[in-house]
Chains A and B, each alone.
Chain A
Amino acid sequence: MKIFIAFFILLGAISAVGCNAIVDPSPQTMQPVTHIEDYYLPLKSVGTSYAYCRKSSYGADTVWMTMHGNDASGLMLGNQACYATDMSSQANQYLNNYYYAMNDSEAFTLGKVSCGNHDKYWLDLKTPLMVGQTWKFKNANGSYYIESFYTAKVSRRGVQMKMPDGKIYDDVAEVIYTSKSDSTVKWFARGVGLIYSTSTNPDFDFGDEMRLVGQK
Chain B
Amino acid sequence: MSNGLENTIIAYFDGELSDADSAELLHLTSVSPEIRTLFREHEMLRDLAQESTRSAMVSPEVESSLFSRIEALAKNPVREKATLVFSRRTAVLGALALILISGSLGYVIPKFFSDGSQKLAVSSQAKENMLQAAITPNIISSQQTENFGTKNISNPISALSSSKHSGSISEAPRTQGPLEKEHDAFTVINNANMPDVLEHIVSETPITKSNTKIQPTVLRFADIKSEIEREKYSPFDRKEQHLESRSLFEASLQTSSGFTYPADAAPIKPFAEQRLSIAYHITENDLIGFRLGSGLYQQLGNVTRTFDNGAELLSRSIETKRSFSEELYFSHLAPIFFAGNLLLEFSVGGGFIPNGFTLDVEAGIRIPFSESFMFGAAFALSRVHSNALSSSAVLVSENSNSKPVMLDAVDIHNTLNGRLHYGIIYRF
21 A-B pairs whose Cβ atoms sit less than 8 Å apart in the complex: A7-B363, A10-B361, A14-B381, A14-B416, A18-B381, A22-B383, A22-B416, A23-B262, A24-B415, A25-B262, A160-B407, A161-B405, A161-B407, A162-B404, A162-B405, A164-B402, A166-B400, A174-B309, A176-B309, A187-B311, A211-B404
Partner of A164, one of B346, B400, B407: B400
Given contacts A156-B408, A159-B408, contact A24 B414 (CB under 8 A): yes
On chain B, the number of residues with a Cβ less than 8 Å from chain A's Cβ atoms is: 35
Of residues 168 through 216 on chain A, the ones whose CB sits less than 8 Å from some CB of chain B are 168, 172, 174, 176, 185, 187, 195-196, 198, 209, 211
The answer to whether B311 touches A196, judged by C-beta atoms less than 8 angstroms apart, is yes
Contact B416 A18 (CB under 8 A): yes
Q: Which 7 A-B pairs have the closest CB atoms?
A: A26-B262, A198-B310, A185-B309, A24-B412, A7-B346, A159-B408, A160-B407
| Proximity bits, A1-36, B CB within 8 Å = 1, else 0 | 001100100110011001100111111000000000
**Footprint of B on A, CB under 8 Å?**
3-4, 7, 10-11, 14-15, 18-19, 22-27, 155-156, 159-164, 166, 168, 172, 174, 176, 185, 187, 195-196, 198, 209, 211
Of A23, A176, A196, chain B has the most CB atoms within 10 Å of the CB of: A23
* Residues on A with beta carbons closer than 8 Å to the beta carbon of B363: 7, 11
| Contact, CB under 8 Å: B414 / A4 | no
On whether the beta carbons of A24 and B406 are closer than 8 Å, the reply is no
The answer to whether the Cβ of B411 comes within 8 Å of any Cβ in the partner chain is yes
- Chain A min CB distance to B208 (Å): 69
Which residues of B sit under 8 angstroms from A3, Cβ to Cβ? 332, 334, 346
B residues at A contact (CB < 8 Å): 261-263, 309-311, 332, 334, 346, 348, 361, 363, 381, 383, 391-392, 395-396, 398, 400-408, 410-416
Chain A neighbourhood of B311, CB < 8 A: 161, 185, 187, 196, 198
User: Taking A23-B415, A168-B395 as contacts, is the C-beta distance between A162 and B400 under 8 angstroms?
Assistant: yes
Enumerate chain A residues within 8 angstroms of B402, measured Cβ to Cβ.
164
Q: Nearest Cβ distance between residue B398 and chain A, in whole angstroms?
A: 6
Indicate whether A185 sits within 8 Å of B406 (C-beta atoms), given known contacts A14-B381, A22-B416, A24-B415. Answer: no
Contact status A163-B404, CB under 8 Å: yes
Contact between A19 and B416 (Cβ–Cβ < 8 Å)?
Answer: yes
Give B309's nearest chain A residue, CB to CB.
A185
**How many whole Å from B335's CB to the nearest CB in chain A?**
13
Which residue on B lies nearest to A170, using beta carbons? Answer: B392
Residues of chain B contacted by A24 (CB below 8 angstroms): 262, 411-415
Contacts of A11 in B (CB 8 A): 361, 363, 381
> Which residue, B309, B410, B415, has most C-beta atoms of chain A within 10 A?
B309
* Cβ-defined contact, A14 with B406, below 8 A: no
* Chain B residues closer than 8 Å to A164, beta-carbon distance: 400-404
Contacting residues, chain B, for A198 (C-beta < 8 A): 309-311
A29 to B398, CA, bound (A): 27
A-side contacts of B406, CB under 8 Å: 156, 159-162, 172, 174, 187
With both chains docked as a complex, state the minimum distance between the C-beta of A84 and any C-beta of chain B, in angstroms: 28
Q: Determine whether the beta carbon of A19 is less than 8 Å from that of B403.
A: no
- Nearest-CB residue, chain A, relative to B344: A4
Cβ-defined partner of A162 (8 Å) among B263, B309, B395: B395
Q: Which residues of B contact A19 (CB under 8 A)?
A: 261, 416
Contact B412 A14, beta carbon cutoff 8 Å: no
Name the residue on A nearest B415 (C-beta): A23
Q: How far is the CB of B338 from chain A (nearest CB, A)?
A: 16
In the assembled complex, how far is the CB of residue B249 from the closest CB belonging to chain A, in whole angstroms? Answer: 22
Chain A residues with CB under 8 A of B404:
161-164, 187, 195-196, 211
Do the beta carbons of B383 and A27 come within 8 Å of each other? Answer: no
Residues of chain A within 8 A of B310, CB atoms compared: 185, 198, 209
> Known contacts being A172-B406, A185-B309, A187-B311, is A162 close to B398, with CB within 8 Å?
yes
Q: Shortest beta-carbon distance, B413 to chain A, in Å?
A: 6
